[in-house]
Amino acid sequence: MYTILITQKEAEVAAATRAEIARLAPGARVIITDDRDAIAAALPAVDIVAGHLSAAQLGQAVNLRWYQQWGAGADWLARHPELAERDFVLTNASGVHAINISEHIFALLLAFARGLPAAFGAQARGEWQRQGDAVFELAGKTLLLVGVGAIGQRTAHLASAFGLRVWGIRRHPGRAAPGVERMGDMARLHEWLPEADFVVLTIPLTAETRHVIDEAALRRMKRTAYLINIGRGATVDEAALARGLREGWLAGAGLDVFEQEPLPAGSPLWAMPNVIITAHYSGATPEYQPRAMAIFLENLRRFVQGEELQNIVDKRLGY
């Protein structure tokens, strides 16, 4: 039958999950381990891998038919084009982050709206400092979503509840999304930037999206607008962003991802009062494992039945 490798600690895979794998793929040999030596020994024979593998490890999986990666981003393929040419199906965990990352986006938006960075600074200094002149409301403003996948759609849902107008940019603008009033492709970006109060990036990193927010784009934004990036750091030209924040091309930025991580100590972004930095943890949630496992189990059912899998990644495009 199949040999299935799950690259996790045995204790992390519940007995009920193992029973479901056995039900979906009767007779399959299932290996559950996070030990590097055990993984290396298993790789040449595996048909299916679920979890995390390095590029070097993928190279050893010569009989691989399907790799269910445990994360969403597949920009690693750009660094390993030889793997993109391999004949295996790659699926990702797209959708697993929709709730927690959309909530992180609104945490950043609300922090700016209610003046929380200044309030936290005043608290640390023991000062009673009202923020009344600096606050604003989200309702009635325009949020431009650059990327309308699972995270973007959940963000649009929340935005509608807050009374925001939502415009979206996606590769295929003919696909509508609930709560998105206007939909366009990347060619609309510079046209729509001057009308947006908030620009939220959820896009993957590809050749097309690298530095899509560059100096020209930043100069198109309102001086009162805020940029939120929870996608990939290199979609933003950080040097141009730092300059724009200093010179007032935009009001502020909430950043969870960066071109270099950890963000270097010498980055000017650390000291800017109009920047909120979180250390690439918008994707963190205690619900990650069960959601990702549910995607794998559904795809395992489809694989065994010969059906098309969910969340297939185009290995040449990287998403």
* Cβ atoms of 28 and 21 closer than 8 Å: yes
Query: Is 175 one of the annotated active-site residues of the chain?
Result: no
Query: Is 287 one of the annotated active-site residues of the chain?
Result: no
The residue annotated as part of the active site, out of 104, 154, 220, 232, is 232
Amino acid found at 306:
G
Query: Is 238 one of the annotated active-site residues of the chain?
Result: no
According to DSSP, the residues that pair with 144 across neighbouring strands are 167, 199
In angstroms, the Cα distances linking 20 to 42, 171, 294, 296, 303 are 22, 36, 11, 11, 14
The residue annotated as part of the active site, out of 80, 114, 211, 280, is 280
In angstroms, the Cα distances linking 2 to 24, 32, 51, 202 are 11, 14, 17, 36
Q: Is the dihedral of CA 291, 293, 296, 302 positive or negative?
A: negative
The residue annotated as part of the active site, out of 261, 287, 307, 316, is 261
- Report which DSSP code applies to 311: S
Name 269's Cβ contacts closer than 8 Å, sequence gap at least 6.
238, 241, 242, 245, 253, 255, 258, 263, 275, 277
Q: Hey, what are 265's tokens?
A: 């100590």
**What SS3 class is residue 154?**
helix
In angstroms, the Cα distances linking 132 to 81, 129, 224 are 53, 9, 17
Catalytic residues: 232, 261, 280
